[in-house]
Structure formats: C-alpha cells, structure tokens
Structure 1
Amino acid sequence: MNREQLITLISEKLKLIRTEKDLTQDQMSDLLGLSKKTLVQIEKGRIQAGWTTTVAVCTLCRESSILQHELGGDPLEVVDLIANNGTLQPKEKTMGGYIWWKSLSEYNSYRLQQNVISQHFRILDSNNYRLLSTFDENIAKQAWQKLKE
C-alpha cells in the first residue's frame, strides 16, 4: 500500500467511518478541521481527502472496526510505514497476528509474518514485540537472515 492508495481508501470509507462513530457531518468536519462542504465533497466522491486529513482520520478513528478491517490492523502502523518510506524499527507490543497475519517462517521464538490485507511484513519476538515492519520483502528477508545468524 502506498500514500495514494491509503488516501483513496480513506476517502471512499469516510462516510462509513463517520457513521460508525455516530457523528454528524458538522461534528466530523469539526473533528478533522475541514469545512462541512469539503467533507460532503469527499463523502460524495467528488474529491479525495488530502494526506493530512487521511492521517487525521487514521489517528482520531484508530479504533474503528471499518479501518482496522480495511487495513488489516492498526491504521497508525500503516500510516507510519508509508510516512517512513516503508520500514519501521522496533515498536510497541502487538497482539501476535492471529487475525490479519500469515506466518511465513518461525525460528526459535521469532516469527516472520505478512499482513494478508496491506501485504507488509514484520518480525515479532516471543513476547509479540515488533522488531521490524516493512513493505519491502527484501528488507524483511535480510533482517530475518541476520536474526538467524
């Protein structure tokens, strides 16, 4: 997933996300710092949200089941990956990847996984802490090989 794909996804799902949060257009536009007219234009598919609005939606609506389902987990992880050119270093504890992740390889207590929706890769330790997260398969495989040495 890249920036444009995320913007398109958020633009297409914005009305559903707003409805899920039980917000009016006035409340949502105020929350996102948009005019109501702009919000309506996005919801009707006439224009797309900008990057800042996309990040704001992912941040302020992080717990949205719609967002989590569409992105395969935490929306902020996807935003962070895109903003940091596809690779993240050690981060917070994860839930272990039992829903949106497939295990590609296991070594000792480490797991190399791929998200079935966003297609990004990550390496988890035995306590489910993310050691690496990246869209780049080569970076993931190199890190995996280093871990096994």
Structure 2
Amino acid sequence: MTKEQFIEKINSKLKLIRNEKNYTQDRMAEIIGISKKTLVQIEKGRASLGWSGAIVVCFLFKDSEILKMTVGNDIEDMLISLAFGKSERNYSKTMGGKIWWRDIKKKSNYKIQQNNISGHYRILDENNQRICSSFDEDYINSRLIELSKLEYTNN
C-alpha cells in the first residue's frame, strides 16, 4: 500500500466512520478539524483529507470497526510503516497475529508475518516481540536473514 492508496481508502470510508459513530457532518468536521463544506466534498469524492487528515482520522477513530476492516487492527504500526518506510523501534509484545496476520516465512527463532488487510510485513521473535515492520518485502526478507545470521553467530 502506498500513502496515496491509504489516503483514498480513508477518504472512501469517512462517511461510514461518521455514521458508525452517529456524528453529524458538523460534528465530524469539528472533530477532525476541517470545514463542513470540505467534509461534504470528501464524502462525495470531490476532495481529499490528504496525508495528515487521514492520519488524524485513524488516530481519533482507531476503535472504529469500519477503519479496522479497511486498514487492519494494528493501525499505528501500519502508519509508521507508511511514514518511515522501514520501522525498527521498541515495540510492545504482540499476541502473535492470530487474527489479522498470516505467517509468511520462518527462519531460526524469527518469523515474517503479513497483515491480511493492509499487506504490510513485520518480523516477530520467538516471544512474539516485534522487531521491525515495513511494506518493503525485500527489506523484510533481508532483515530476517541478518537476524538469523546474528543469532547463529551469538550461539
């Protein structure tokens, strides 16, 4: 997924998210910081939230079932992967991806998973601790090889 595709998805679901939360156009526009006129244009497909507006919607409505079904359950990870391309930071432990993720490849004590909805990748260790994430499959595969070699060297 590209930033542009992400923005298009959020634009297309904005009205559904608003209806899911039972907000009027006036209230929704106020919440996300745009004019009602702009909101109406977005809902009609004539304008766009843009990158920052789409992020605001994801942040403010991260509990939305519509949003989860559109971009996946791990919205923060997906946004970081889109923004930075490759993400490696101190992540909290995951549940192992039983619903939103499918295992792609295992090597040593690491596995690559792909999100069923957004399509982005992540590497988990044997404790389901996330190591990195990205939409770049080549990067993820090379990172898995590096991690496996590092583990082999340390043992």
Give the Cα separation in 2 of the matches to 1:139 and 1:24.
43
Give the Cα separation in 1 of the matches to 2:8 and 2:126.
36
Q: How does 1:1-149 map to 2 (within 5 A)?
A: 1-84=1-84, 86-90=85-89, 91-149=91-149
In the alignment, residue 131 of structure 1 is paired with which amino acid? I
Q: Decide which structure has the larger Cα Rg and report it.
A: 2
In the alignment, residue 79 of structure 2 is paired with which amino acid? V
Give the Cα separation in 1 of the matches to 2:135 and 2:129.
18
Corresponding residue SS for 1:111 = strand
Shift of 1:43: 0.9
Determine if contact 2:112/2:123 at 8 Å carries over to the other structure: yes
Corresponding residue SS for 1:22 = coil
Corresponding residue SS for 1:103 = strand
Residue ranges of structure 2 left out of the alignment (5+ in a row): 150-155
Give the Cα separation in 1 of the matches to 2:46 and 2:137.
35
Corresponding residue SS for 1:93 = coil
In the alignment, residue 88 of structure 2 is paired with which amino acid? Q
Pair 1:139–1:23, CA change in 2 (3 A): same
Pair 1:109–1:75, CA change in 2 (3 A): same
Shift of 1:142: 1.1
In the alignment, residue 70 of structure 1 is paired with which amino acid? T
Residue ranges of structure 1 left out of the alignment (5+ in a row): none
Larger CA deviation: 91-100 vs 44-53: 91-100
Same amino acid, percent of matched pairs: 47
TM superposition score normalised by structure 2: 0.88
TM superposition score normalised by structure 1: 0.91
Shift of 1:109: 4.1
